[in-house]
Amino acid sequence: MANHLPTETVSIALAERSYDILIGCGLLDLPSALSCGSASAEALIVTNTTVAPLYAERLQRVLALHHTRVRTIALPDGEVYKDWATLNLIFDELLREAFDRKTVLYALGGGVIGDMTGFAAACYMRGVSYVQVPTTLLAQVDSSVGGKTAINHPAGKNMIGAFYQPLRVIADLDTLDTLPDREISAGLAEVIKYGPIADDAFLGWIEQHIDALRARDKTALACAVRRSCEIKAWVVGQDERESGLRAILNFGHTFGHAIEAGLGYGEWLHGEAVGCGMVMAADLSVRLGLIDAAYAERLTTLIERAGLPTRGPRLGAARYLELMRVDKKSESGQIRFVLIDAPGRASLHRADDALVAEAIEAHCV
Ligand code: NAD
Ligand code: GLY
């Protein structure tokens, strides 16, 4: 039965910055799952106006057992609010309420809340602790893990931020019950990503379980979250600050970020843009002779079965290229793409603009 699933732990090994990811059901009500800060520390739950009415009170109740004071701030909801002005609301609350440097921030929500809260924690008083409590599938399999924190800039996605690891990640699978179907599909894009870059057998498993995952079968979800976190832990443990290997986690993201920025943040969900971006990146891998067309087709079919768009908006190849040059992986204005070298293996590549344009045009509406 769903709520009898055992809690599983995946560890991120980063010396003194190591931490655990707890994955299970009912964790929001479990005091032991949530006790990881100093007992005297105060706590601020950072959430948004959608998630607060669903889960903030429960979290606040359990945190009150561990902290001397617990407050909640609910930010406006949406990727469009992942910006300076909204980040400042967190600092305003912390300063107005005189939170000290032992304060622990709790990021309760999806990737937007997680990224902003982590960045606020990295900056407030030059750094306070934070805990990730991801409530979207995307956040549970990817964004809450690994310490990338950021806000967007109108010129580019996640351009202002810091590497800053949380104290713990608490992925309560029960919170996924209230997630809209579209958000489940968006999260599945980041799950699928791990197959072509690191584990071809996992890709096969996802193909077999895609319908169960979309139907929110808890056993299937637990397995997908655990394996995704294991792969992410393996990558981040070797390359915390993305000097090399970690870039593979950005498979599909270079094209995807161009879609998000080009349409205006929030028009397409991040996971939708990544799904379509993976189709374009797989096509570019084929055009460069790295993989055969059948593997790209296989990936495209799975992305479609996950309920994700596989054709991008017609922004024009020149506009895609312009937007992609702002990518953090670019060097001296040259775009570098994460491409598939072989099933389950990926690395960074350069490609001629003309070839990239062909890959884009082949997959636009
Ligand atoms: P999101 O944070 O916008 O959440 C999606 C929507 O679901 C929001 O409307 C949110 O309020 C709502 N929601 C959250 N939990 C809910 C629940 N349990 N029930 C009902 N509604 C719920 O989007 P996301 O897909 O979680 O995250 C996308 C963000 O993550 C992007 O900004 C992306 O850049 C970032 N990201 C960061 C990393 C990283 O390594 N830091 C990795 C991948 C993505
Ligand atoms: N989601 C990309 C990374 O964490 O590196």
Q: DSSP for 112-123?
A: HHHHHHHHHHHH
Tokens of 15: 């010396």
3-state SS assignment for residue 238: helix
Handedness of CA 342, 344, 346, 351 (dihedral sign): positive
What residue type is 91 in one-letter code?
A: F
Lowest mean pLDDT among 39-43, 56-60, 259-263, 267-271: 39-43
Residue 117 tokens, joined = 């809260």
CA distances from 61 to 30, 43, 69, 121 (A): 11, 12, 11, 22
The whole-model pTM stands at: 0.96
Q: What percent of the chain has pLDDT over 90?
A: 90
- pLDDT, tens only, 173-222: 999 999 999 999 999 999 999 999 999 999 999 999 999 999 999 999 99
Q: Which of 11-15, 143-147, 258-262 has the lowest mean pLDDT?
A: 258-262
Domain with CATH 3.40.50.1970 in the chain: 8-178
- Taking 50 as the threshold, does the pLDDT of residue 155 lie above it? yes
DSSP state of 165: -
Whether ligand 2 lies within 6 angstroms of the CB of 146 is answered as yes
Burial of residue 237 (number of CB atoms within 10 Å: 0-12, 13-18, 19+): middle
Q: Is 60 in the pocket of ligand 1 (CB under 6 A)?
A: no
Q: How confident is the model at residue 3 (pLDDT cuts 50, 70, 90)?
A: low
Would you say domain 8-178 falls under CATH 3.40.50.1970?
yes
pLDDT score at 284: 98
Quickly count helices (H) and strands (E) in the chain: 13, 11
Quote the pLDDT of residue 2. 46
Ligand 2 atom closest to Cα of residue 145: 4
Protein residue with its CA nearest to atom 2 in ligand 2: 249
- Per DSSP bridges, beta strands 43-48 and 70-75 are parallel
CA distance 304 to 255: 17
* Strand (E) or helix (H) holding 219: helix 218-238
Tell me, which fold does domain 181-361 have in CATH? Dehydroquinate synthase-like, alpha domain (1.20.1090)
For the chain, give every residue range classified as CATH 1.20.1090.10.
Answer: 181-361
| Cβ of 136 below 6 Å from ligand 2 | no
Q: Which residues are catalytic?
A: 126, 148, 190, 232, 242, 246, 250, 253, 257, 270
Any bridge partners for residue 21, and if so which? Answer: 10, 169
pLDDT in tens, 289-341: 999 999 999 999 999 999 999 999 999 999 999 999 987 778 777 899 999 99
How confident is residue 1, by pLDDT bands cut at 50, 70 and 90? very low
**CA nearest to 225, candidates 133, 142, 135:** 142
Q: Residue 347: beta bridge partners?
A: 339
